Amino acid sequence: MLISKITAFGVMFAGLLNGPVLAQQPPQDAAIQETVITVPSIPVGGSVSLGGTVVPYKDVTFSAQIPGRIEHIAGEEGDSFEAGAELVAINDDDLLAQRRAAWANLANAEASLRNAGVQYSREWISPYGGEQNDMMGGMGSMMRKFSNPMQNFMGSGSPGYERHADLYSYSTRLDQAKSQLVAARSRIEEIDTKLRDAKSVAPFAGVITRKMVEVGDPVQPGQPMLGFADTSKLQIEVEVPARLMPGVKKGMVVPARLDVGDVDIQARVEQIFPIADPDRHTVKVKLDLPPGVPGGPGMYAEVMINDINAKVRDLPVVPTNALVWRGSLPGVYVLNESNERELRLVRTGDPVGADGIAVLSGLRAGERIYIGASGPSGEWQ
C-alpha cells in the first residue's frame, strides 16, 4: 500500500478527494499553451515512507582522557580545520614535572646498572677482590680459610663455594639494576602517552559541531569536550522495520525527500547494520546523499522503502506540470464527458520517473487532463 504525505489542512477536505467539481470556468488567455492527454496507468508496488535524520559521513566526540583544566580550544561551532590540527588542549604542567622526575630516575637506574656490571665483571675475572693476583702468592686465600675455621672443618667454606655465592649475588644485583632501568623507561613512556592524551587532534578534515566545555573548565576522564564532523558528505540514517528488510539491498537507489524545501532526491543504500534493535525490532540503514544537496546534519528526511509483501496495483500517473495547487491541496484540470474543464482535487503518491507522479484517488486511468497551463507557482496564469 502506498503511503503519501497528507497535510492536516488537506484532511479537512478528505471528502472532496473523490472528484468534486470546483471550477467550471477555464482561463481565457489564448496565449497559454496547453495540451490534453489521456491519463495512463502503471503497475505500482507497495512502498512505505520512513522518517530519518541527515547525519555527517564521519562524526567523533572528543572526551577528556586525563584530569585537568582546559587550556586551549581552537575555535567555535562551524569553524573548519584540516586533519592533524590541535582542537583541544588540557593543561599538562603536572605531567611535565612528572616527566622530568622520571628522567632523573632513569639516569639513576642507568648508573646503578653500570655499577652492578662493573662489580659482576670484577668478581668474575678476579675472585676475592683480586686476591689471586696478590704478590704473596695466594696468602689472601689462605687467610680467608683461617678466618672461619668452623666452615673449613664442616667442608662448606671452600673457595669454589664462596666464589659461586659471590657471583650469584652480583648477578642478582645486575638483574635488579636492569629491571629498574626498564621500569624507569616504562614510566617515561606512560607519561608521554598521557601528554599525547592531553591534546585532541582532528583525525580528518571537518568542522566543530558542538562545544561542551570552555577554556578554564576543569574536566575529568570520560567527560565530553568537543564534537567534530566531516560534513562534506552527508547521509540519511533511518530505522527500517525488520519486515521491510528483504526489500533493502546495499547499493540500491531509493527515492528520498529532504525537509528543506521538500527536495526530492535519489539516495543510495551505503550501509546496512548487521543486527536489529532488540527493543524496536528495526535495522539501522545509512544512505548516501548526492553532493550539494540543501540542508545539513540533524535535519529531517523521508525515505521510500519498497514493501515486497504488498500487492501490486495499477495507478494513474500524471506529469508533475499537470498539478494545480489550491493552497496545500493538489489538483488537475480534467476534460469531462461534456467537454468542459473541471478542477479536481487529487491525492498524490510516489514520484514515477523523472517528471511523473502517481495518483491515489480523485482520478482514473483513461480520463483526459490538461497539462502545460500552469505557471511556476502552480496557479493558472
* Identical topology for domains 1-46+310-381 and 65-92+198-228: no
Between 159-197 and 139-147, two packed helices, what is the crossing angle to 10 degrees? 90
The residue to which cell 632523573 is assigned: 104
CA–CA dist 11, 20 (Å, integer): 15
Burial class (CB within 10 angstroms; exposed 0-12, middle 13-18, buried 19+) of 201: middle
Which residues on neighbouring strands pair with residue 219, listed in sequence order? 68
Q: What is the 3-state secondary structure (H, E, C) of 71-114?
A: EEECCCCCCEECCCCEEEEECCHHHHHHHHHHHHHHHHHHHHHH
The residue among 244, 242, 239, 285 whose CA lies nearest residue 46 is 244
Q: What is the pLDDT along the chain (381 residues), one digit of tens a residue?
A: 333 333 332 332 233 333 333 333 444 443 445 788 889 888 766 678 889 999 998 999 999 988 999 999 999 998 999 999 999 999 988 888 988 998 998 898 888 888 888 887 887 776 555 444 444 444 444 444 444 444 444 444 455 667 677 777 878 888 888 888 899 899 999 888 888 889 999 999 999 999 999 999 999 999 999 999 998 899 999 999 988 888 899 999 988 888 877 788 889 999 999 999 999 899 999 999 988 888 788 899 999 888 777 676 788 999 988 898 888 789 999 998 888 889 999 988 777 776 888 888 889 888 999 986 544 333 443
pTM for the full model?
0.54
Rounded distance, CA 334 to CA 15, Å?
A: 18
Taking Cα atoms as reference points, which of 40, 44, 42, 43 lies closest to residue 369?
40
Long-range contacts of 141-144 (CB under 8 A, 24+ apart): none
CATH placement of domain 65-92+198-228: 2.40.50.100
- Check if the beta carbon of residue 221 is closer than 8 Å to that of residue 62: no
Q: Side-chain half-sphere of 32: how many Cα atoms within 13 Å?
A: 16
Could you say which DSSP state residue 214 is in?
-
Q: Which CATH architecture has domain 1-46+310-381?
A: Beta Barrel (2.40)
Q: What is the pLDDT of residue 313?
A: 74
Q: What is the pLDDT of residue 235?
A: 92
Domain assignments of the chain as residue spans, ordered by start: 1-46+310-381, 65-92+198-228, 94-195
- Rounded to an integer, what distance in angstroms lies between the CA atom of residue 230 and that of residue 60? 9
Beta-carbon contacts of 276 under 8 Å, excluding residues fewer than 6 positions away, are: 242, 282, 283
Helix, strand or coil, per DSSP, at residue 94: helix
Per-residue confidence (pLDDT) for residue 3, from 0 to 100:
35
Predicted pLDDT at 12? 29
How many C-beta neighbours within 10 Å does residue 343 have?
19
pLDDT of residue 19: 37
pLDDT for residue 340: 87
Cα–Cα distance list, 28 to 333, 336, 381 (Å): 14, 18, 10
From 241, 299, 239, 240, select the one nearest 265 (Cα to Cα): 299
Distance in angstroms (rounded) separating the CA atoms of residues 151 and 326: 119
